[in-house]
């Protein structure tokens, strides 16, 4: 019996060696649920392509902020590490490959804001970009949002960590922390105990912000597999079903059509081919 057990272990180790190990980015904190949808979608795409590419093991990466994740991605130190990131022309030059499908179907470009309680009334009266310039934004240090906001001459304070951005709003170090309409409400519900921070109900800031699964260019097979799986899932309706399950209640709660809309340009996607646009929805 013991000999049979050893044989089974050996056989299993051989089989495991043939299975592709894929790493996804771990949350930055216990309250960080930003990647729940991404991870579920990645798993869906991988499941849709099992027949062609085989089985896989999905593992969390070590805990890291976005800047560190990009470093690991560029060096390929963690093989088959895949994360979600906003497209920029600059990133393509840094040994990064994109699965050409917009993970969030475009909703993350519709921005609603956490706001300090002392600023909520004045912010709610904003009608133009010129008036928006009177408010200070908080954003993650390596996020593309920083460059987009600054390109419109908006003042941005950068934070190394995601969690600290909520406290920066609460303490008045920044006036606003704007999030995708699909992101804000789950974040707010997790942090209701933070004093002096609420969300605005009147303003919608919009800029194109397509986000894609990205990895090191050396992981060519993984990029091809994920892109193929996403398209299959979109065409058979399973992707939209997952998207609705995660986000539709938040979109309704955001009441986007009732908000004053301020449009900003995103000058960092000028060289992106527009194939992905056929998967982008309009939400307002």
What's the pLDDT tens digit per position in 187-212? 999 998 899 899 999 999 999 999 99
96-98 β-sheet, strand order = 56-60, 20-24, 81-86, 211-216, 96-98
By mean pLDDT, which of 8-12, 27-31, 123-127 is the weakest?
Answer: 8-12
Q: What are phi and psi of 246, to 5 degrees?
A: -85, -40
Asked whether residue 12 carries a pLDDT value surpassing 50, the answer given is no
What are the C-alpha distances in Å from 122 to residues 119, 131, 148, 223?
6, 10, 23, 45
Mean of the per-residue pLDDT values for the chain?
A: 89
For the entire predicted model, the pTM comes to 0.87
| Cα(208)–Cα(56) distance, integer angstroms | 33
Categorize the per-residue pLDDT at 9 as very low, low, confident or very high, splitting at 50, 70 and 90: very low
When pLDDT is averaged across residues 21-44 and rounded to a whole number, the result is 85
Percentage of residues in the chain having pLDDT higher than 70: 93
| Cα(284)–Cα(274) distance, integer angstroms | 21
What are the C-alpha distances in Å from 199 to residues 13, 57, 110, 187?
51, 39, 14, 10
pLDDT at 67: 81
Asked whether residue 22 carries a pLDDT value surpassing 90, the answer given is yes
What is the three-class DSSP state of 254? helix
Q: In 10 A of CB 226, how many CB atoms?
A: 29
Token pair of 31 as six digits: 């309250």
Q: At what angle do helices 36-48 and 220-235 cross, to 10 degrees?
A: 90
Asked whether residue 10 carries a pLDDT value surpassing 80, the answer given is no
When pLDDT is averaged across residues 246-253 and rounded to a whole number, the result is 96
Q: Give 144-179 pLDDT, tens digit per residue.
A: 999 999 999 999 999 999 999 999 999 999 999 999
Is 34 or 116 the better-scoring residue by pLDDT?
116
Domain 107-206: CATH superfamily is: Periplasmic binding protein-like II (3.40.190.10)
| Cα(223)–Cα(26) distance, integer angstroms | 19
Is 84 or 27 the better-scoring residue by pLDDT?
84
When pLDDT is averaged across residues 19-38 and rounded to a whole number, the result is 82
Categorize the per-residue pLDDT at 18 as very low, low, confident or very high, splitting at 50, 70 and 90: low
Name the β-bridge partners of 114. Answer: 177, 199
Residues 6+ apart with CB under 8 A from 232: 45, 48, 49
Contact 251, 274 (CB under 8 A): no
Is 213 or 276 the better-scoring residue by pLDDT?
213
Q: Is 14 exposed, middle or buried (0-12, 13-18, 19+ CB in 10 A)?
A: exposed
Percentage of residues in the chain having pLDDT higher than 90: 68
Domain 2-104+210-249 in CATH 3.40.190.10? The answer is yes
By mean pLDDT, which of 11-20, 42-51, 85-94, 251-260 is the weakest?
Answer: 11-20
pLDDT at 281: 84
Domains 2-104+210-249 and 107-206 equal at CATH topology level: yes
When pLDDT is averaged across residues 58-63 and rounded to a whole number, the result is 88
Q: At what angle do helices 238-254 and 36-48 cross, to 10 degrees?
A: 160
Q: Give the start-to-end residue ranges of the domains of the chain.
A: 2-104+210-249, 107-206
């Amino acid at each position: 019996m013991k000999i049979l057990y050893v044989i089974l272990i050996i056989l299993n180790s051989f089989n495991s060696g043939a299975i592709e190990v894929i790493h996804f980015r771990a949350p930055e904190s216990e309250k960080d649920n930003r990647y729940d949808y991404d991870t579920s979608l990645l798993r869906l795409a991988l499941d849709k392509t099992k027949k062609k590419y085989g089985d896989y093991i999905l593992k969390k990466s070590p805990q890291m902020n976005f800047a560190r994740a990009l470093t690991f991605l560029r060096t390929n130190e963690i093989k088959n590490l895949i994360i979600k990131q906003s497209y920029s022309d600059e990133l393509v030059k840094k040994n990064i490959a994109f699965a050409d499908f917009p993970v969030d179907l475009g909703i993350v470009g519709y921005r609603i804001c956490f706001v300090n309680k002392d600023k909520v009334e004045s912010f709610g009266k904003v009608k133009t970009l010129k008036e928006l310039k009177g408010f200070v934004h908080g954003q993650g240090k390596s996020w593309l949002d920083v460059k987009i906001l600054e390109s419109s001459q908006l003042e941005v304070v950068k934070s190394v960590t995601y969690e600290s951005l909520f406290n920066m709003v609460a303490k008045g170090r920044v006036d606003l922390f704007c999030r995708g309409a699909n992101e804000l409400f789950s974040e707010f519900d997790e942090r209701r105990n933070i004093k002096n921070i609420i969300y605005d109900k009147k303003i919608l800031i919009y800029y194109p912000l397509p986000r894609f699964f990205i990895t090191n260019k050396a992981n060519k097979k993984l990029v091809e597999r994920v892109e193929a799986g996403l398209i299959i899932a979109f065409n058979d309706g399973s992707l939209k079903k997952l998207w609705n399950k995660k986000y539709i209640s938040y979109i309704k709660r955001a009441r986007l059509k009732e908000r004053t809309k301020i449009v900003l340009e995103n000058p960092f996607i000028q060289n992106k081919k527009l194939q992905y646009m056929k998967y982008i929805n309009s939400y307002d």
